[in-house]
Structure 1
Amino acid sequence: MLKWTLLGVAILFEVFATMCMKFSDGFTRLLPALGVVVGYGISFYLDAQVVRMGLSIPVVYAVWSGGGIALVALVNRWLTGEGLAWPTVVGLVVISFGVALVSFTTSAEIA
C-alpha cells in the first residue's frame, strides 16, 4: 500500500512541476522555475523509491505518466480555464485503458 501511496504523491509532484513550467514563462520567472526543478526532483526520487520497493518499471512509468497526463489536463482546465476538446477526453480514456493494460499484463511474457 505504501508504494502506491508514494506513486500517487509522485504524480502530484509531477503535476505541480508541469504546471509550474507553464507559469515560469519560459523559465524567466524564478519561483515557478524553482517549482519545476523541485517538483520533478521529488517526483523522480519517489518513483525510484517505488521501484526499489518492488513495483516494476513499466507499471510505475505507465501509472506515473498516464496519471500525470490526465491530472495535468484537469488541473490546467481548472487553473487556466482552457477547455478540453472531445478528442482530448477520448485520448485520456484511451490512455487510461493503456495504463490498465500495462499494469495488469506486465508479468506476462511475449511468446
Structure 2
Amino acid sequence: MNAYVLLIVAIVSEVFGSSMLKAANGFKNIIPSIGVVAGYGVAFFSLSIALNTLSLGIAYAIWAGLGTALTALVGVLIYKEKFNGKKLLGLTLIIGGVIFLNYGGAH
C-alpha cells in the first residue's frame, strides 16, 4: 500500500481517537473510550508502516500538523468550540510549516 495512503489513514484515525477523548469523559463512557483506543491503535500502526518508506521528519510533520488542524476543525464543527482569527492564523502557520518542510526535505 502507498505510504502516503497509510499516512492519511494514520491522520484520520488519530483525529478520530482525539475527538473521542472528549466524548469519553475521562474514560467514563465505554463506547467513546473504545473509540479512543481503536483510533490511536490504528493511527500508530499505520504510521509505523508508513515510516518504512517515508522519512521520520516529513511523516511526523504531516501527521502532527494535519492532525492538529483537523482536530481543531472537529472541535469547531462537532463540539461547537469558538473559531476566531487567532485560531485561523495558527492553523495557517501549521499547514504552511508542513508545506515548507515537505519542499525542503522530501528528497
Task: Indicate the TM-score class for this superposition, using the shorter chain for normalisation.
Answer: over 0.9
Residues paired across the two proteins, number: 107
Structure 1 gaps, min length 5: none
> Matched residues, percent identical?
36
Q: State the match for 2:94 in structure 1.
A: 95
SS in 2 for 1:81: coil
Q: State the match for 1:28 in structure 2.
A: 28
Cα distance between partner residues in 2 of 1:90 and 1:40: 27
CA RMSD of aligned residues (A): 1.5
Per the TM alignment, residue 106 of structure 1 is displaced from its structure 2 partner at its CA by 2.3
Cα distance between partner residues in 1 of 2:43 and 2:106: 25
The CA deviation string for residues 43-95 of structure 1, in whole angstroms up to 9 with x for no partner, is 0000011011x110011100001000111111111111212121011000001
- TM-score (normalizing by structure 2): 0.93
* Structure 1 runs of 4+ with >2 Å offset: none
Cα distance between partner residues in 1 of 2:106 and 2:20: 36
The CA deviation string for residues 6-40 of structure 1, in whole angstroms up to 9 with x for no partner, is 11111100000000001000111111111111100
